[in-house]
Structure 1
Amino acid sequence: MNDNRLRTHLEPTVLFVDMNSFFASCEQQDNYWLRGRPIAVCVYTGARGCVIAPSIEAKLRGVKTGMRLDEAMSICPELVPVETSPDRYRAYHVKLISVFKRFSDDVLPKSIDEAVIDLTRYQLAYKSMPEVAQRIKHAIRTDVGDYLRCSIGIAPNAFLAKLASTLQKPDGLVTISPANIDEVLGKLALTDLPGIGHAMATRLQAGTINSPLELRYASPDRLKLVCKSIIGWHWHLRLNFGGEVDLAAHAYKQMQAIRSVSTGQRQSLEQMTTILRTLCLTLERRMVHQKVFCRRLQGWVRYSNGKRYEDGLTFSIPMQDGIELFDLLCSRMQRYQEAHQCGPLLNADVRQIGMGVSDFMPAESVQYTLFEDNTRKDKFRETLNAIKERFGKNSLIRATELRGESVKDLIGFGSIKDLHEW
């Protein structure tokens, strides 16, 4: 299920579902008054808050993701700011995946608002893939939410299906096949292809590949040389129906937790410390859920002047406890301040705090020293997180979590691994 495969496949049997303005549509689904209005989902709804998801109506009025809220309001005075509701989006995501699995066992969630439905093994069951796509759209409206819309792309592989889903929004349905791929690619620029940003486009153009059509007809050896990696061969396979390279579900290589700091929060050292502790506990929860420990920790702070503080260290004994990670980061920040005779690293200029863990080891493989046995602590974390998952995140908390004010729950478009057991 959901495996990459290296064989020619010409039939458009892979569907890519992209929910349109997902966060905003979920808000409009649950609040009838918001329907038909331009709304902007924001983490914070102050003037300097950031729009993370405009509704379809807001997009038509020029509001874009990443705009400051005061700028968006100047463009669209009737804009309605709405604070994020992460639990709502997660719940709708789970409902959507449940609907998709009625049509195929081969469903791969790609993000909170995107999924691949592979129907390659179901060609005898479904005579018309566009008809299946219409049935999926209908099932979403009737069984998940009547105000939710999606664009569906159909193609022989996941990459081209994703590209097709971007070509007609909102509520689109587009098929890419060997019969029309040249016509489709001929209307696009390199940066219109998913996964090609300006840096990759510049590299391709330096190799005299200036358009998607030229990318399609370049030889695999030339593409590997221009891209300086096997990625060039992957592009050849995607655009020439030579195989599937985007369906594998990968395990965690790294986990990150990042928070932007609001104007009010950066005035309080306690609030910023609380944010850092929350990030550490978030990563603990993910590691417990995935049954892994980390052997590498990174922390960073970004400031309004563009400067950045970074720290990283490797452990001889793998770690999982969020409070231990938090204490370790704080002590290292304190030593940095003392060694360099500088002011507090968490100050009024902070714009973002983040941390990451990597180099994972399965929990059952962790060995302790002769003088340390953390079995009871590990079991406590596992039990604590199981209770939180079943009864709610605030059903049981440690005393260390009571310091400072609570930090608002956030969710990113890619934050779906914890919702699924691969």
Structure 2
Amino acid sequence: MLFNAACPTVMHVDINSCFATIEQQANLFLRGKPVAVAAYTTSSGCILAPSIEAKRYGIKTGMRVYEGRALFPDLIVIPPDPNKYRHVHLKLRDILSRYTDDFYPKSIDEFVLNLTKSHCLRKMSMNQIGEEIKNRIRVEIGEWISVSMGIGASRFLAKTAAGLKKPDGMETIDVNNFEKIYKRMKLTDLHGVNTRNEVRLKSAGVSSVWEMYCADLPTLKAAFRSVLAFYWFTRIRGWEIDNVEFGRRSYGNSYSIPERLITPRQLSPVLAKLVNKAARRMRNSGYVAYGVHVSASYKHAHFWNKSEINKTPLFDTRDIFKKAFNILTKSPGEEPVHTLAVSLYDIVKGAPPQLELFRDTIKKVNITAAMDKLNKRWGDYTLVTANTFPARGAVQDRIAFGGIKELEEFTLG
């Protein structure tokens, strides 16, 4: 299989150091300084996004705050502000929609555009379109917001190209330059190749991206031992294999607990708030669930989880909480819980089945609809069940990395 020689008309747009850059755009006093947005500003808080300046000191996403400050003692650490990030996401979405209808978000800070049928290509090149988008971002969103762009014949090539000249760069990978680019890349420079994959590839005699391109399919099969071999064989040659989008399968939330909570009764308020949030998100998207899953990771690295299926669909927060709490009572309950999580699965689109709409069910439907309407108008947790009150400071608004389902709910809502 030869490299894809098609005209590169796919563009990947990635906001540089997204959360931190947006905070610097909003606050002039943060600009040009090492800044980190962390889930919690305490020393053990996880860094979600270091600014471009912070990255120069070796500060990376996933580090703890104390690790970041060990590298740069004056690191400015701030909590996340999801509403700011959603606002910028929607503003960027609006700008990109002027160039093509064929685009979608990969995450809060990444978009992929297919400009193959765009009218813009009749009068501008891909690079000119990219420069125009960059200028519009600076004018319409903020002068401190920069994006890296990649152009290729496939989504994978475009994303790979976007990572070559960060920050604020633009690069193209096509049939004319792919060999030169691949020869200077490490295996782990490829999105989707982790250190474990690197070890497997090297054991099969593949030590670089160029060697991976030159390898035949049996060699890659010896390394991956799965269908991934064919995916990579196709992907690295620039052919589209990453265009399958999977629908939502569940709704869930988790919370890292700073207090020393052990028993189900102690954990009950946190569980209730997790259920409130997941159930409301599920209902707002028009789903009901048959399955409830509860998991707990403990301070000493132990893990417990359990799932149960309900015979009838669950949509009312109170019923879901009863189910989740009943599951939680079956946990060991012998040591402090580090992270508690709830997931609603086996979801089905649509309202509760008509055959189930007896008097009590109709009442539940009306009550939950009224609560959801009030919370949507006046803000999350304006009206909740009483058992969540002790956990009113927990389960804060967060944006998940690596997925767009929560953004879809926000956008469509």
- 2:122 counterpart SS class: coil
Q: Distance in 2 between matches of 1:121 and 1:128?
A: 13
Aligned to 1:418: 406
Counterparts in 2 of 1:74 and 1:229: CA distance versus 1, 3 Å = closer
Give the structure 2 partner of residue 378 of structure 1.
365
| Structure 1 residues 320 and 204: alpha-carbon distance in aligned structure 2, compared to 1, 3 A threshold | farther
Matched, 1:327 2:322: yes
Taking a change above 3 Å as real, the CA distance of residues 418 and 368 of structure 1, as seen in their structure-2 partners, is: farther
C-alpha contact (below 8 Å) 1:151/1:169 kept by paired residues: yes
Q: Which residue of 1 aligns with 2:260?
A: 266
2:156 corresponds to which of 154, 159, 162: 159
Q: For residue 177 of structure 1, give the secondary structure of its aligned residue in structure 2.
A: coil
Q: Which amino acid aligns with 2:260?
A: R
Output one character per residue of 1:50-104: Cα deviation in whole Å (capped at 9) or x when no partner: 2221111111122222222122222212111111111111111111111111111
1:149 paired to 2:146: yes
Task: Report if aligned partners of 2:182, 2:210 keep a CA contact under 8 Å in 1.
Answer: yes
1:44-59 equivalence runs, <5 A: 44-59=40-55
Q: Which runs of 5 or more structure 1 residues have no equivalent in the other structure?
A: 1-6, 338-343
Separation (CA, whole Å) in 1 of partners of 2:290 and 2:355: 13
Counterpart AA for 2:402: G
Query: Is contact 2:17–2:50 with CA below 8 Å preserved after alignment?
Result: yes
Q: Which residue of 2 aligns with 1:43?
A: 39
1:275 aligned partner: 270
Residue 84 (structure 2) pairs with residue 101 (structure 1) = no
Shift of 1:415: 5.0
> Does residue 295 of the first structure (1) align with residue 293 of the second (2)?
no
1:175 and 1:307 map into 2 onto residues whose CA distance is 46
Q: Report how many residues are paired.
A: 405
Q: Secondary structure at the match of 1:99?
A: helix
In structure 2, what is the equivalent of residue 307 of structure 1?
302
Separation in 1 of the partners of 2:252 and 2:337? 18
2:69 counterpart residue number: 73
Give the drift of 1:131: 1.0
Residue aligned with 2:323, SS: helix
Seq. identity, % = 32
Q: Tell me whether 54-63 or 244-253 shows the greater mean CA deviation.
A: 244-253
Instruction: Give the secondary-structure state (helix, strand or coil) at the position aligned to 2:117.
Output: helix
Secondary structure of 1:120 counterpart = coil
Distance 1:218 1:254, change over 3 A: farther
CA apart distance, 1:191: 1.8
State the alpha-carbon separation in 1 of the partners of residues 190 and 376 from structure 2. Answer: 38
Structure 2 counterpart of 1:25, which letter? T
TM-score, normalised by the number of residues in structure 2: 0.88
- In the alignment, which residue of structure 2 is the partner of 1:285? 280
Q: CA, structure 1 residues 136+189, in 2 after alignment: closer, same or farther (shift >3 Å)? A: same
Q: Match of 1:266, as an amino acid?
A: R
Structure 1 contact 95–144 (Cα < 8 Å) conserved: yes
Counterpart CA distance in 2 for 1:416 and 1:387 is: 25
Looking at structure 2, the residues matched to 318 and 336 of structure 1 have their Cα atoms a distance apart, in angstroms, of 24
Structure 2 unpaired stretches of 5+: none
Where does residue 4 of structure 1 map in the other structure? none
Q: TM-score scaled by structure 1?
A: 0.87
